[in-house]
Amino acid sequence: MKRIRIALQKKGRLAEDSFRLLSEAGIIIPAAGERLRVPAINYPLEAYLLRDDDIPAYVADGVADIGIVGENVVYESGQPVEIIRRLGFGRCRLSLAVPKDSTIQSIEHLHGKRVATGYPRLTHHYLSEMGIKATIHALHGSTEIAPSLGLAEAIIDIVATGSTLLLHGLREIHTFLHSEAILIQRRGDTQTYEDFLFRIDAVLAARQQKYILFNLPESALPAVLKLLPGLKSPTVMPLAEPGWISVHTVVEEKLFWEIAQQLQGLGAQGLLVMNIEKLIR
d(CA 32, CA 20): 14
Q: Which of 152, 147, 156 is nearest to 112 (CA)?
A: 152
- Judged by CB under 6 A, the chain residues 80 through 99 that form the site for ligand ATP are 90, 92
Contact region with ligand ATP (CB under 6 A), list: 10-18, 19-27, 127-135, 142-150: 10-18
If the CB atoms of residues 52 and 157 are measured against Mg ion, the closer one turns out to be: 52
Q: From ligand ATP, Mg ion, none, which one binds at residue 72 (CB under 5 to 8 Å depending on kind)?
A: ligand ATP
* Residues binding Mg ion: number (CB under 5 A): 2
**Least distance between ligand ATP and beta carbon 220 (Å):** 44
Bridge partner residues of 136 (DSSP): 115
Half-sphere exposure of 115 (CA within 13 A, CB side): 28
CB of residue 14 vs ligand ATP: minimum separation in angstroms?
5
Q: Contact between 52 and Mg ion (CB under 5 A)?
A: yes
Residue 40 interaction partner, one of Mg ion, ligand ATP, none, beta carbon < 5-8 Å per kind: none
Name which of 209, 207, 205, 174 is nearest 94 in CA terms. 174
Residues whose CB is less than 8 angstroms from the CB of residue 238 and which lie 6 or more positions away in sequence, other chains included: 244, 245, 246
> Which one of residues 53, 82, 172, 201 is an interface residue with ligand ATP (CB under 6 A)?
53
- Distances, alpha carbon 22 to alpha carbons 54, 167, 229, 252, in Å: 20, 35, 29, 22
Q: Which residues, in sequence order, are CB contacts of 253 under 8 Å at separation 6+?
A: 207, 208, 209, 210
Binding-site partner at residue 13 among Mg ion, ligand ATP, none, CB < 5 to 8 Å by type: ligand ATP
User: Which one, of 75, 89, 67, lies nearest residue 186 by Cα?
Assistant: 67
One-letter amino acid of 165: L
- Residue 153 binds to ligand ATP (criterion: CB under 6 A): no
CB of 271 to ligand ATP, least distance (A): 33
The reply on whether position 24 binds ligand ATP by CB under 6 A is no
- The answer to whether residue 170 forms part of the interface with ligand ATP (CB under 6 A) is no
State the alpha helices, DSSP H only, in 150-220.
163-167, 194-207
Pick one of 28, 160, 273, 274: the residue that binds ligand ATP (CB under 6 A): 160
Does 73 interact with ligand ATP (rule: CB under 6 A)? yes
Footprint of ligand ATP (CB under 6 A): 9, 12-14, 51-53, 70, 72-73, 90, 92, 158, 160, 179
